[in-house]
Chain A
């Protein structure tokens, strides 16, 4: 079936439905206020939008700094072919985080107050400044795609000159704000369940960002290979899967050590324990045991499932930190209202839509042009062998 020359597919129809419902909720948000659109209240001032759109959004966009760091700082050249799609994912992720913030903030039109009324003691101030700067960095890392599309060579050279600085800055800023998202939760030890209140929270948030950065890269590579009919870089996926296994193992050991050190019994069944078990199962047990087998790591579909499980696990983790851990203190449960969920879905759908738009119109997957900063900075082993052609 086609409407106005556009083929109607299941995903396109779903996209339209999500957008229509989301736009309705957007009207409710801006014409009736936060109370009407969400189930947030004085007991739960932070809800799904902080828990998912902000905490998880930033975590899932972490692939940008992981992969650029690996390729440009540690010269893992084999990963070079996924730099561009990863930067695109990260850039979109941060832009959508800001969109999410515009919904969640009570007075979004004053968001720029951060720049003039600074409070350096505030973790959120630090997160805000880092995110603002890092989004600019990601923009500069992303812009060569657009410049190349329009054949603008001079500005590409300028970006190329500062590219190593951009990458170092990106990692630095990411380390700061990824961990600081965890520090946000350090100031109310009395409110949070001991499962999720740990002084080591900043470390865990940083490490889980790395794990999710890798998992998202696998997820996004596999999906785009399927959607855009590209060949999948099997060796790259295997490599990422190995790295993911190591990172997950390290986090699992540290989490265990943290619980042992604080003498928290995680095996006693309770309302919170079920959420914790779900989180641990998805984030650690399933992916670690799956990825232990070489057969899984070399099999893109199975690796994809392991990556998906990792992502779901850490999303559960962050929702637990932001919401579940507070429920006992507050004394009742928080469940997001359908309008709240619809706005989150709309933001996610926008992400998928913008990604496919970018892939269709920009040279995201055409990495072989050598006049690009990305291509030139990290030369392939083949290029290094070129001098041998002299004789």
Chain B
């Protein structure tokens, strides 16, 4: 059963305990200065954004069809059956294509390191494996971040929209975006105000399909094009040979 996170911004009080729990879980530094930073970075995998009295969490969306995993030439990123999109640092060659491909600009890089890693939220895969909730969901005092079964959380999100339609923008972010994500979000403020791209912009098509359409032509294209080139070579070469023999024959017949 695939797991997911449901974040309800209307329940969030901006206490940032998810940030500190995340830092602890991933062995990252965390202090007042880092708490004040409002961008995801190589040392901050999740961030609570503030807009007046409203809040929004940003973290990896854990796409159902992750573009980052699809583009990685060495398969250093992959989505586990349980839902998290995880990163195997020992495979990574540092091409940073994942950072380019991510529609949510989630993967960040250790630009100052001599052996840099891609850093992002990996949805606490060890905890999830043991049947535990993610660190952020466990610590959340108001239940704004909830961990559970993907399908059940989709139903719950729909329910909440139905129960209190006036409290929310009528949209479950992550339900359709890029073909669905394992992080679902509800908010009273339009999501694009927090830098989350609109559905119209990213579409509901899994991003890997755009390159997949080209890549799937390869198995047919390679033998066909090879055959055409070989064929042309054979024809032009044969024409040469014939020309040569004919020239020889003409010579033997005394140029006639």
Contact = CB atoms under 8 A, between A and B. Distances in A.
* Chain A partners chain B: yes
Interface of A: 30-36, 40-43, 45-46, 69, 72-75, 104-108, 110-111, 113-114, 117-126, 128, 164, 167-168, 171-172, 175-176, 180, 183-184, 186-191, 199, 202, 379, 384-385, 387-388, 390-391
Interface string B83-126: 00000000111111101110101001101111110000000000
Contacts of A75: 236-237, 239-240
Given A33-B114, A73-B229, A106-B116, A122 B72 contact: yes
A118 B93 CA distance: 12
B10 interface: no
B194 interface: no
Interface in B219-250: 221-222, 225-226, 229-230, 232-233, 236-237, 239-240, 243-244, 247-248, 250
Contacts of A43: 105
A123 B93 contact: no
Contacts of A118: 74-75
Given A107-B92, A385-B247, A33 B70 contact: no
B93 A107 contact: yes
Looking at B74, B76, B94, the one whose CB has the most chain A CB atoms below 10 A away is B74
Contacts of B248: 387
Given A119-B70, A384-B243, 19 more contacts: A31-B114, A34-B111, A42-B105, A42-B109, A73-B236, A75-B237, A107-B94, A110-B93, A120-B215, A123-B71, A124-B71, A124-B95, A125-B74, A176-B221, A188-B207, A190-B103, A190-B197, A202-B214, A388-B251
B190 interface: no
A124 B97 contact: yes
Contacts of B99: 42, 45
Contact of B75 (A40, A72, A119): A119
B165 interface: no
A133 B179 CA distance: 35
B1 interface: no
A45 B208 contact: no
